[in-house]
Amino acid sequence: MLIAKRGGYWTHAKHTNLGRLMETHGPKLLGSSYQDPITSFNLFRKFSVDYPQVYWSILVKQISVVFHEDPKCIMDTGDKSEHRGVWFPGAVLNIAECCLLPMNSPNKQDDSVAIVWRDEGHDDSPVNHISLREMREQVMLVANALDATFTKGDAIAIDMPMTANAVIIYLAIILAGMVVVSIADSFASKEIATRLRVSKAKGVFTQDFIARGGRNFPLYSRVVEDCPCKAIVIPVAGKDLGIQLREHDLSWKDFLSRADHLPSPNHYYPVYQPIEAITNILFSSGTTGDPKAVPWTHLSPMRCAADSWAHTDTQVGDVCCWPTNLGWVMGPIMLYACFLNGATLALYHGSPLGRDFGKFVQDAGVTMLGTIPSLVKAWKSTGCMEGLDWTKIKVLASTGEASNVDDDLWLSSRASYKPVIECCGGTELASSYIQGNLLQPQAFGAFSSPSMSTGLVILDEHGVPYPDDQPCVGEVGLFPIYMGATDKLLNADHEEVYFKGMPMYRGMQLRRHGDVIQRTVGGYLIVHGRADDTMNLGGIKTSSVEIERVCNRADENILETAAISVKSRTGGPEQLVILVVLKNGSKCGPDLLKTKFSKAIQSNLNPLFKVSFVKVVPEFPRTASNKLLRRVLRDQIKQELSVRSRL
């Protein structure tokens, strides 16, 4: 969707967060080169990359960060072993306390709404809400109960849906000087146990059940199947648990009662820590071996909040909703994006797949709605959101996988054609490295620029960077100076994972991210998937995502496709295989699809590409974070083709 630089939009641009910042600081920082927020955006973004200390000295004042002890400087680059730089050295704070304090704004006070939520099955009831004061008192009550149960520095897991209680628990653990261990509630017992073991968790907060579609699905039994640590269990509904606990576990009610002896159980003095202290252990969605344990510090949330402030224009009074979980990176990002920017966090306690979720978005007055492409595809295919009023939405956002242009257009149309901000990043970055914004025209399924202060290059097959203004496709290399990025992993060699083997550029060793991206003629960026999803067809390199984009539009019966390449047992070039999931009730034979795919690929990508095999399947294997497991599909097809060749 391209937006003209005239009239109302030009005026609106100056009232966005970035627009106001550029109008205030642009003339001083850019001199006579500065014109206005739209014309000068690329120049200002480049300035933020070249002079990150200056940019972040301004940005940190825009978000609700209060230092208990001020930093000595913004960034120290004296230690050359610290690729990312040492940010805000000497600073002491508690980032959870920052979330609980009123902002320096007349519109964000103690009685402002912090969280709104609704439980599935109560869709005609008013939306629930809790004020900032009420949330702070509940967080402090939980922090006092934590002190009576655990020890400062303990790692405490959260494995439950992202409810209002889960958010309160998350903040309380950090306020009390302990470390959150983030575990998604979708994991099987073995995966939960692995994360508890790797993080050395001393306790875990969970629910007795997960409520979905009028049914209760066991969660506590999954969590404790191979978990020796203490579990604190919250009832999915009401005040009483629907299960029998192990002897050393606690009900939510009994846990909170541990603070009853205090004269003021709803008051707590925060534990202040150096900015580099670990606050949260998150995990990559690794598909082999132990997942990488990624530690966040008090610094990481500052990046989350600042990028939301700049790119999705999160402001005081906004209502932000993004169906996710505290076990995935978007959960903590959303929490900090709201509370450090004075916005309200909107949570739906149930499945986001149906109309009930859409009605919550309407009734809660959501102004920023985040999604993943497969969720949008489901809404579009079922027509479940028809007739709902989403006109309060100012901006939409999408992440997690490659977006479909038609689906983005449909999503935008639900909200009076508001822009869809595409986001692509990583847990280890605490942010998106490429992202849209409201000062540039947005194109569906594409990213308008790298994020603020993020430097990157696109590498050719020899590891040589393409010129910045040249259209190209290649693996991305990130500049190592990156505010908020990790400098360690708890169970892997950080240097080896992110830097070893990466080329030097302008005296810097580039940071590995693993994505293959394309820079278009117009300067937009398109993600082609992971570097290990690249295939070689007849000597020509292409990506799975590029082929899938074309195939998804080849027939109206298609829900989604997956493109993989396999090598023949007899040698020769790689063979292109397309797997297909059809829409519910649709029928379409593989031979017809093969013809349509071949025609579409040869017309839109390359006339030399040939589809060797098409298979219709009921669903694709995915990680718990919804990433497509092409490796699994590739292994399955190799086995099937091997059997066929023997027959």
d(CA 500, CA 495): 6
- Our CA angle for 624, 627, 633, nearest 5°, is 105
More confident residue, 472 or 574: 472
2 confidence band (pLDDT: 50, 70, 90): very low
Q: What is the pLDDT of residue 193?
A: 92
Q: What is the pLDDT of residue 572?
A: 58
595 confidence band (pLDDT: 50, 70, 90): very high
Residues 103-128, mean pLDDT to the nearest whole number: 88
In the 8-state DSSP scheme, what is residue 532? G
Residues 6 or more apart whose CB falls under 8 angstroms from that of 238 comprise none
250 confidence band (pLDDT: 50, 70, 90): very high
- Length of the chain as a residue count: 647
Residue with tokens 């047992």: 569
Residues 5-20, mean pLDDT to the nearest whole number: 77
CA of 481: how far to CAs of 7, 330, 454, 510, 525, in Å?
38, 23, 8, 9, 21
Count of Cβ atoms closer than 10 Å to residue 612 Cβ: 17
Q: What is the pLDDT of residue 409?
A: 95
Residue 85 pLDDT greater than 90, yes or no: no
Residues 6 or more apart whose CB falls under 8 angstroms from that of 390 comprise 358, 361, 362, 366, 369, 414, 415, 416
Is residue 352 within 8 Å of 120, Cβ to Cβ? no
Q: Which residues, in sequence order, are bridge partners of residue 179?
A: 155
Q: What is the pLDDT of residue 287?
A: 41
Give the rounded percent of residues in the chain with a pLDDT score beyond 90: 72
Helix or strand holding residue 43 (H, E): helix 41-50
Rg, the chain, Cα only: 25
Q: What is the pLDDT of residue 43?
A: 97
Q: What is the pLDDT of residue 176?
A: 98
Residue 108 pLDDT greater than 80, yes or no: no
Is residue 461 within 8 Å of 541, Cβ to Cβ? yes
d(CA 426, CA 445): 18
- Tell me what the pLDDT averaged over the chain comes to: 90
Count of Cβ atoms closer than 10 Å to residue 51 Cβ: 13
Residues 417-442, mean pLDDT to the nearest whole number: 94
Backbone angles phi, psi at 434, to 5 degrees: -130, 140
Residues 155-181, mean pLDDT to the nearest whole number: 98
Residues 217-225, mean pLDDT to the nearest whole number: 93
Residue 629 pLDDT greater than 70, yes or no: yes
Q: What is the pLDDT of residue 538?
A: 64
106 confidence band (pLDDT: 50, 70, 90): low
Q: Is 275 helix (H, G, I), strand (E, B) or coil?
A: coil
| pTM, two decimal places | 0.87
79 confidence band (pLDDT: 50, 70, 90): confident
Residues 553-575, mean pLDDT to the nearest whole number: 81
Q: What is the pLDDT of residue 10?
A: 65
Lowest mean pLDDT among 8-12, 378-382, 627-631: 8-12
Helix or strand holding residue 580 (H, E): strand 574-582
Q: What is the pLDDT of residue 482?
A: 95
Q: What is the pLDDT of residue 253?
A: 96
Q: Where are the alpha helices (DSSP H) in 473-589?
A: 494-498, 544-551
Residue 94 pLDDT greater than 90, yes or no: yes
Q: What is the pLDDT of residue 156?
A: 98
Lowest mean pLDDT among 101-115, 310-324, 445-459, 484-498: 101-115
Please choose, from the candidates 366, 436, 369, 372, the residue with its C-alpha nearest in 3D space to the C-alpha of residue 399. 372
Residue 394 pLDDT greater than 70, yes or no: yes
Q: What is the pLDDT of residue 288?
A: 44
Helix or strand holding residue 623 (H, E): none
165 confidence band (pLDDT: 50, 70, 90): very high
Residue 7 pLDDT greater than 60, yes or no: no
Lowest mean pLDDT among 391-405, 584-598, 628-642: 628-642
Q: What is the pLDDT of residue 516?
A: 86
- Our CA angle for 357, 358, 361, nearest 5°, is 90
